[in-house]
Every structure is written in structure tokens, then in C-alpha cells.
Amino acid sequence: MNILKFNSEAKLNEAAARIITSTVQVNPSAVLGLATGGTPIGIYKELVKDYNEGLVSFSRVTTFNLDEYVGLSPDHHQSYSHYMKENLFNHVDIVAERTNIPFGLADQLEEECRQYDERIEAAGRIDIQLLGLGHNGHIGFNEPEDELSSSTHVVNLAEETKQANARFFTETEEVPSQAITMGVGTILKAKMLMLVVKGADKAEIVKRALTGPVTTQCPASLLQTHPNLVVLVDEAAGSLLP
């Protein structure tokens, strides 16, 4: 585990983007695992900047997103498909057919999950999997449970997670209660895991995830078992780390 601490969000975003950019520079056909939410937005802005400056091309890159809400169409303004287009895909030269996001409106959700894992296997191992961290220790939408699914699956979102996501929806909209998410086993197959965490409100769960016992009650703690885990935190999020 390699923990990098930064005294500004800008420096953290730049460092995370440089890791991704350098990976694609070395391997133009890299497979990237992408995340959504507030944490990666600054990183994606840096990647767009690198592309505009001619430092990197995404034309041969393949991407797989961690998750998608069940019940939202890809063009819904709060879908993760829409998020990725707005924050990254529409601003670089990535080929749409090489981008993969679970389909939340699939008639057979279990079949969609199975096929998603098959597409990941066919693409080869994910080179870098970008991850955020939920307040309850979830990664992707793998919520604390007695048992965790290793493969892509449908999950019922914890009330805490729904409340955290409610700020993105208007009062007239109902926050989705289910999502399709990569399983922890799928995540751990990536060659490199890059966990990015920002803010003092995440300090306690960062400490628990990285220094506490490995337990399914804190899904992120399983990242400790990965041989190539890079953690990027700002000073606030990393304030309780030894």
C-alpha cells in the first residue's frame, strides 16, 4: 500500500490524473476502471486538460464504470452514463463503443450483470481501477454486509448511501434504491487500485478502511489485500492515519 497525502485538492487531482495519463501513454490500449460522484470530477478535468494539451489520446482506451442506478435511462441527468459524458467522454477522443457502463433499464438485471463481467474478462485485466470511498466504507455500491458478492450484481442501497446521494436529485425525484455494481472480486482483479478520498468527514472511515481489520462490514478494508493499492488523500481525509 502506497499512501500519498496532499495539502491541496488541486495537487491531489493533478497527481491522480498523471497516474492515469502516464498509464495510457505507456499503453495506449489501456483498460480503465472509472468511478463517479463528487470525488473524481477534478481528476477528470485534469485528464481533459492533458488531452487538450496533446499529452494523451484516449482513442484506443477501453473503460468500465463501477456502477449505475437501476431504473434510470442512460440519458437521465442523474445517471452515471450522463455523468461520464458530461465530465469526461464528451471532451476527449474516446470511442463511444469502447465505453462500458451497466444498463440500469435492462429487462433481465442478473443477465446484464453476467454479461458485464464477461465484457470485462474479454477486455483483459483492468489496468487502473479508480475508487472513491463511502462514509460507511462502501466501494462502488458494495455496502457493508455479512457476505459480499464477488461479481457484478444488483444491490439494495443503504439508507445512508441514499441520503448522501439525495443532494443530486430534486425534491420531486425519488433517489434510486437499487444499483448495479461491480463486485469486490471484480474490483480486486485490477492490476492497480487507486483510492481517492477527500475531506475531514471521511477521516474516520479512511483510518478504519486502511488500518482496521479486514471485514465485509467495511468493504473498503478488503483493499488492504491488494498488492498494488495507491491511496491519494488530502490532509483532512488522512488526518487520522498513523
* DSSP calls for 84-134: HHHHTGGGS---GGGEE---TT-SSHHHHHHHHHHHHHHH-S-SEEEE---
Among 14, 138, 226, 234, the active-site one is: 138
Helix or strand or coil: residue 44? helix
Query: Is 75 one of the catalytic residues?
Result: no
Select which of 143, 153, 226, 234 is catalytic: 143
pLDDT value for 196: 98
**Closest C-alpha among 191, 196, 195, 132 to residue 164:** 132
- Report the predicted TM-score, pTM, of the whole model to 2 decimal places: 0.93
Q: Annotated catalytic, 136?
A: yes
Residue 127 annotated to the active site: no
- What whole-number distance in Å separates Cα of residue 89 and Cα of residue 239? 34
Q: What is the pLDDT along the chain (242 residues), one digit of tens a residue?
A: 999 999 999 999 999 999 999 999 999 999 999 999 999 999 999 999 999 999 999 999 999 999 999 999 999 989 999 999 999 999 999 999 999 999 999 999 999 999 999 999 999 999 999 999 999 999 999 999 999 999 999 998 878 777 777 777 776 567 888 999 999 999 999 999 999 999 999 999 999 999 999 999 999 999 999 999 999 999 999 999 98
The answer to whether residue 143 is catalytic is: yes
In the sheet with 178-181, reading across from the earlier edge strand, the strands are 67-69, 178-181, 153-156
Q: Which of 50, 67, 68, 127 is catalytic?
A: 67
CATH fold of the domain at 2-234: Rossmann fold (3.40.50)
- What is the per-residue pLDDT for 173? 66
Q: Choosing from 136, 156, 160, 235, which is the catalytic residue?
A: 136
Domain boundaries, the chain: 2-234
